[in-house]
Amino acid sequence: GENVEQHPSTLSVQEGDSAVIKCTYSDSASNYFPWYKQELGKGPQLIIDIRSNVGEKKDQRIAVTLNKTAKHFSLHITETQPEDSAVYFCAAVDSSYKLIFGSGTRLLVRP
């Protein structure tokens, strides 16, 4: 089945710097890759997603890139702000149509 690995597990950046979180997946048939932001004690919130027919997608300060050949996708956050501090999860849909999550990255943006 699908296996999603996410790195790094923690990431600390200075306010205004960029943050990059990377994920790899194992099922070459996966075609949908969402990213979620989870604040303490709350449910995950979808922040951006990408499908396999595109290589990059942007939404203001957030972008996601997908390399299907290498089976990896990344989240890029530019001009980071303290409110970006949270846990970020990547995910991929496996061949049985279940959403498999990475283990999460705790992002800390230092003011």
Q: Which of 58, 61, 98, 110 binds another protein (CB under 8 A)?
A: 98
Residues 12-31 that bind another protein (CB under 8 A): 31
Number of residues that bind another protein (CB under 8 A): 22
Return the residue of 35, 36, 73, 88 that touches another protein, per CB under 8 A. 36
Among 46, 55, 79, 110, binds another protein (CB under 8 A): 46
The H or E element containing residue 89 is strand 86-93
Q: Determine, following the binding rule CB under 8 A, whether residue 44 of this chain makes contact with another protein.
A: yes
Choosing from 25, 35, 66, 102, the residue that interacts with another protein (CB under 8 A) is: 102
Of 51 and 61, CB closest to another protein: 51
Name the burial class of residue 73, with classes exposed (0-12), middle (13-18) and buried (19+) by CB atoms within 10 angstroms of its CB: buried
39-55 as b/e, with b when 16 or more CB fall inside 10 Å? eeeeebeebbebebeee
The dihedral of CA 84, 66, 48, 62: what is its sign?
A: positive
